[in-house]
Structure 1
Amino acid sequence: MYSKELLKGTLQTIVLKLLAENGRMYGYEITQKVKEQTEGKIQLTEGALYPSLHKLEAEGLLVTETVNIGKRIRKYYSLTPKGNIQTASKLEEFASFISTMQFLLNPKTS
């Protein structure tokens, strides 16, 4: 598993990317998808995920839909048009960051 510090800086990007790929998702589904796709290397906790989802919603990047499933209520999250734009921007920014970090950690010798 990776440190909380690394995860904290990438959580919003992870969530936005997953929602862009999958449409609407609920919180537990997001945690399981991340765990599955990373083979357990990234395990999101509710304490980290839900504040991030609420912040993205407050910023107008996500909308929620509440669905009754039997006796349970499930809250689905999906991207707004603004969220789609922000996702593309965050992914570009993160790819550039990774490239910069690779250069710093493995500078090419002349």
Structure 2
Amino acid sequence: MARNDSLRRGNNIEMLILSILSTEDCYGYQLSLLIKDYSQGKISLPEGSLYPALYKLVDNGLISDEKRQVGKRLTRVYYHMEPEGKDYLNQLIEEYNSLHSGIQSILNKTKEGDELTHVQKTQ
């Protein structure tokens, strides 16, 4: 059964970041562009949400960061998925799928107009 904290936005952001990093190393701005592109513009992560999630993932050893010089003066921080990050991503995907399934079941049940028979009405 999915944990209630799977509803937290942070878990979803972490899942999206880790999903992209499972395919390639990226720098922060590149991650935000890919998330927006892959979601067809439906998901946009401002810096205030993206970077705290990246720092948390680094602090927890799920991803690593490396400064790379690009050009004469520009340095970018690239993020790389660690093996522990792959395990955590799989856990997040399982929780997300379970939660999504539960929500979809509720929506389907209420869409059909069926009365829930297992729950006693209190009012």
Residue 23 (structure 1) shift: 2.2
| Distance 1:10-1:85 versus aligned 2 partners, 3 A rule | same
Tell me by how many angstroms 1:6 deviates: 6.9
1:106 alignment partner, SS class? helix
* Structure 2 counterpart of 1:32: 33
Within 5 Å, give how 1:41-80 maps onto structure 2. Answer: 41-70=42-71, 71-80=73-82
The corresponding residue for 2:87 is 85
Letter in 1 for 2:54: L
Cα deviation, residue 7, structure 1? 4.3
Aligned length: 105
Counting helix residues as a fraction of each chain, which structure ranks higher? 1
User: 2:93 is paired with a residue of what secondary structure?
Assistant: helix
Q: Which runs of 5+ in 2 are unaligned?
A: 1-6, 115-123
Q: Deviations over 1:42-98 (max 9, x none)?
A: 011111000000001101101011101111110000111111111111111111111
Pairwise CA RMSD of aligned residues?
1.9
Residue pair 2:11, 2:92 contacting (<8 A) in 1 also: no
Counterpart for residue 107 of structure 2: 105
Corresponding letter in the other structure for 1:41:
K
Give the structure-2-normalised TM-score.
Answer: 0.78
2:10 and 2:53 in contact (8 A); partners too: no
Q: Percent identity?
A: 33
Letter aligned with residue 68 of structure 1: Q
Shift of 1:8: 4.0
Secondary structure of the 1:23 match is coil
The amino acid of 1:82's aligned partner reads E
Gapped regions of structure 1 (runs ≥ 5): none
TM-score by length of 1: 0.87
Aligned equivalents of 1:56, 1:9: Cα separation in 2: 11
